[in-house]
A and B are shown apart, each in its own frame.
Chain A
Amino acid sequence: MFRIRLHGRGGQGIKTASRILGTAFFWEGYEVQDAPRYGAERRGAPIFAYVRASKEVINERGIINRPDLGIVADESLLLLPVADVLGGVTEHSVLLIVTDEAPGVWKKRLNLKGRVFSLSSKVIVEEHAGFPLVGAACVGAAARLVGVISRKALEKAIREQLRPLGESIIGRNLAKARTAYDQMEASAGCVTEREEPSADSYETPHWIDLPFEEAGLSAPYIHAAATSLKVETGAWRSLRPVIDRRRCHRCGLCDIYCPDGVISLDARGYPHIDYQHCKGCLICLIQCPTHAIKAIPEPGLRAKRHQGRGR
């Protein structure tokens, strides 16, 4: 059985990408399961989806713990523990990362034993209303890496799943997927099905006994105010708004329009952004009348910090 896990951020089309990949497998005669997994979080938050494909009946359920192929549509997720992109990744697992750094850099940085491939992050910048192209590129590359999906089945799956979005969006996605498919030609088939674990290797869960609590303790009452401050939604951001003080006229519009209320004004009226919670919507950037706010990519920043620490 092929077990493939796709990681991205809400809004990047990961759910649809998994559906396309599953459909392509289906047209090649596979039994397929595909499902997205996310909680209350929204656009920008780390999410994942997974695909199982097998020539036999699939009895396995639930999330995939040990992927044969891991797809990472947003490299910043690799440095985010909560996203758990590397969970269950072994020397058998192939990783496909959307990044502008060489696969070798990531292999070393993350101490990976398996093979790593990269796709240029240009697809993210070219995003466009409709289905984000990064998903199509990932699916195209994945289809070739598993080696059992023909170009025809891939294209049929894309057409089928994106039909409501119209011909022009389908065309752009097809083009992205084809390019990525061709790019992986030399490595076709390098993702292989892991040997199925035998029943003997089953480990019983480590049960924990929980005492029975009084209703007053165990009911979900929240007694404190604004506990949401503990949730670091700053991790959702792929672009970071940065304020250039010299251009800021202290009008305060960024503060007024920020839906999340993460901008505050200091005693002199200069705005400050709370990066622990800023989700990176960039409304402030568009609303600033003096263009004092610019956006810089988050992963670059993080990588730089990383290097700094090494020195």
Chain B
Amino acid sequence: MLGTGTPTCAGCGALENIKIFCDILGEKTVFVNAAGCMTLLTVYPFTPFRGSWLYTAMASAPAGAQGVRDALDLLIRDGRLAPEEYLAVVVLTGDGTAYGMGLSATSAAIYRKLDFIYICYDNEGYGNTGYQFSAATPYAARTATSKGPRGYRGYKKDLFAIWAAHRPAYVATVIGTEPADLARKIEKAKGLRGPRLFIALSPCPTGWQFEPAKTVEIGKLAVKTGIWPLKEYLDGKVVHTRIPPPRGRRPPVEEYLKRQGRFTHLFSPTRNEEILKDIQASVDAYWEGVI
């Protein structure tokens, strides 16, 4: 469905997600895209999309989606567009937008029960501008703006919980390297109306600093080690769709970390036991809270 010949990096984990979304959502879509790496998918006169696409400023993609939705609904109401020509409105933004400057517009759109799908491809930083940290950057990661020996001093914001607290129709965390789980969740959301939101972890060879060939391996480790929980929110309940083996039997989180250049300072020249323990402890605590 999504055309080839896009300018994303070789091995881009965000594209891996979007490819699957497009396959399932089909061409009857209007993408409303805030500034970020994926804006470059459509650079005049080239686009990989088969449906429509619109560009907005970083903070205002959900507001743009509201305008498009309203216009389409009015056209259908006035008989100028056949009901079969219904187009789904899909917001596509990075984490910089979703976790940061676009959060307020998203909150308002969910509050108004806007009928839209939101895809946040989460590469855990400002990829398009050279990988500075964002509110989605994990603790201790090195970015262009957290280069010290301990990396990023903040913690990744829990956007899933924030979005779910608004009680939208659907929220899910996904990853393109678990295509069956992702496809099932998109199908489910497609059958619903109202705000349906996705956070798609997107291993980024360029920002996370690993060989492009390893995107899938690293994505799978994010799920196996438990650092990226796959879950969904529906009808007031949160369900985990993939539960890793219990502590001790699941691979330690450092298996995931040590394959990425953005965490090398935790392993060399000397191991930073304290930070590694902290990260493992937070993953363990999360899953203890679930089971």
Contacts and interface: CB of A to CB of B under 8 A. Distances in A.
A233 B47 CA distance: 14
B19 A261 contact: yes
A260 B4 contact: yes
B43 interface: yes
B15 A129 contact: no
Contact of B47 (A226, A232, A282): A226
A176 interface: no
Nearest to A295: B213
A277 interface: yes
A130 B211 CA distance: 11
A40 B40 contact: yes
Q: Is the interface on chain A under 10, 10 to 19, 20 to 34, or 35 or more residues?
A: 35 or more
Interface string A236-259: 110000000000000000001101
Given A226-B48, A283-B213, A168 B269 contact: yes
Nearest to B212: A281
A271 interface: no
A282 B51 CA distance: 29
A43 B9 contact: yes
Given A259-B12, A283-B212, A286-B214, A226 B179 contact: no
A261 B2 contact: yes
A287 B216 contact: yes
Interface string B208-222: 011111111100000
A152 interface: no
A225 B43 CA distance: 13
Nearest to B16: A259
A172 B42 CA distance: 39
Contacts, number: 141
A44 B47 contact: no
Contact of A286 (B2, B4, B43, B216): B216
Given A166-B264, A285-B213, A286-B214, A43 B44 contact: no
B215 A259 contact: yes
A236 to B, nearest CB: 6
Contacts of A282: 11, 212-213
6 contacts: A39-B7, A45-B7, A256-B179, A274-B4, A279-B11, A282-B212
Interface of B: 2-13, 15-16, 19, 27, 40-51, 142, 147, 176-177, 179, 205-206, 209-217, 261, 264-265, 268-269
Interface of A: 10-11, 39-45, 129-130, 164, 166-168, 220, 222, 225-233, 236-237, 256-257, 259-262, 274, 277, 279-283, 285-287
Given A42-B7, A259-B176, A287-B216, 18 more contacts: A42-B206, A43-B11, A129-B261, A168-B269, A222-B42, A222-B45, A222-B46, A222-B47, A227-B3, A233-B5, A233-B6, A233-B7, A237-B10, A257-B16, A257-B179, A260-B19, A280-B10, A281-B213
